[in-house]
Amino acid sequence: MDKISAAADMIAQSKKIVIFTGAGISTESGIPDFRSPGGIWDRFDANAFTYPKFISSQANREMYWDFSKTIWPAIAQAEPNAGHYAVVELHRMGKLDCVITQNIDFLHQKSGVPEDKVIELHGTLKGVTCLECDRKYPREQIQKRLIGSAEKVPKCDSCGGILKPTTVMFGQPMPEWETNEAETRSARCDLFLVAGSSLVVYPAAQMPVVAKHGGAKLIIINLTPTPHDHYADVVINEKIGPVLSEIVKQARAKLKN
Ligand SMILES: [Zn+2]
């Protein structure tokens, strides 16, 4: 049996599927992998964008917000691709427990996965928060302020505090609720499917192991090999969109027969 058919069988037989996604699913929507060298990093230094530097240096915050202002339109306008819609189809089939994502582009929600089924491990670019009083702002509103004025670092309207996007920066602790929830869901699913993550950074690296120990099957779809391939029941090294669509299509056909 080929790998796609084997993966489709596993989906057809599962009731609680956890989908784990990383940058690889969003590159097909034109969003670059911000952790990879090249492109945007020729203009900006990724090493400058750590949480300790952001909170301690005005110059660093100016650089960060200049970067954020530059990339925001591409993120805001990006559309979900076939990979995202295949996940929505699993939700419609009643098989999706949740999506755990490392992505900050909210394309899963845009594609139609209910918000309460998406766990964002690295936060989201959609929001901005005040580090002093915790007031929240929509990112789009802050973008208008940055473009329409000489303001280089936006300040909180309520308290004048530092504003920061609601993403998890390098050097910032992982969000506790999301990390715990992701582990709990991974432990009790019956199928864990990785789509577009190299599974190298914590806690991503640990979730497939948690799922496997809980008795789940493991499918990994990623362009390149991952450190967990030896645990997996099926490994497919191809682009996410076409492969995942085909797997879900075949799973649906198997259920109808
Ligand atoms: Zn404030």
Ligand 1 centroid from CA 57, angstroms:
18
Ligand 1 centroid from CA 162, angstroms:
7
The CATH T-level fold of domain 32-77+123-167 is SIR2/SIRT2 'Small Domain' (3.30.1600)
Looking up tokens 């505090």 gives: 161
Q: What is the mean pLDDT of residues 127-139?
A: 96
Q: What does the pLDDT read at residue 39?
A: 61
pLDDT band of 210, cuts 50, 70, 90:
very high
Ligand 1 centroid from CA 153, angstroms:
14
CA–CA separation, 190 and 35 (whole Å):
30
Q: What is the mean pLDDT of residues 101-124?
A: 96
Ligand 1 centroid from CA 155, angstroms:
8
CA–CA separation, 154 and 127 (whole Å):
13
Residue 170 CB-density burial (10 A; 0-12 exposed, 13-18 middle, 19+ buried) = middle
Neighbours of 121 (CB within 10 A): 23
Ligand 1 centroid from CA 150, angstroms:
20
Residue 221 and residue 199 in contact, taking contact as beta carbons nearer than 8 Å:
no
Ligand 1 centroid from CA 167, angstroms:
17
Mean per-residue pLDDT over the chain, rounded:
93
Q: What SS3 state is found at 168?
A: coil
pLDDT band of 176, cuts 50, 70, 90:
very high
**Backbone dihedral region for residue 7 (phi beyond 0: left; psi -120 to 50: alpha; all else: beta):** alpha
- Does pLDDT of 187 surpass 90? yes
pLDDT band of 239, cuts 50, 70, 90:
very high
Q: What is the mean pLDDT of residues 132-160?
A: 94
List the Cα angle 6/108/254 in 5-degree steps: 25
Contacts of 179 (CB under 8 A, 6+ apart): 121, 203
Residues with a beta carbon under 5 angstroms from ion ligand 1: 130, 132-133, 135, 156, 158-159, 161
Contacts of 90 (CB under 8 A, 6+ apart): 11, 17, 19, 96, 248
- The CB-side HSE value for 132 (13 A sphere, CA atoms) comes to 9
Q: What is the mean pLDDT of residues 18-23?
A: 96
Q: What is the mean pLDDT of residues 221-249?
A: 96
Q: What SS3 state is found at 154?
A: coil
**What letter would DSSP give residue 155?**
B
Quick: pLDDT tens for 27-72: 999 887 665 555 666 677 777 789 999 999 999 999 999 988 988 9
Domain 1-31+80-122+174-257, CATH 3.40.50.1220 — does that match?
A: yes
- Give residue limits of the domains in the chain: 1-31+80-122+174-257, 32-77+123-167
Q: What does the pLDDT read at residue 202?
A: 82
Q: What is the pTM of this model?
A: 0.93
Ligand 1 centroid from CA 172, angstroms:
19
Q: What does the pLDDT read at residue 199?
A: 93
Quick: pLDDT tens for 75-110: 999 999 999 999 999 999 999 999 999 999 999 999
Q: What are phi and psi of 125, to 5 degrees?
A: -80, -5
Catalytic machinery residues: 122
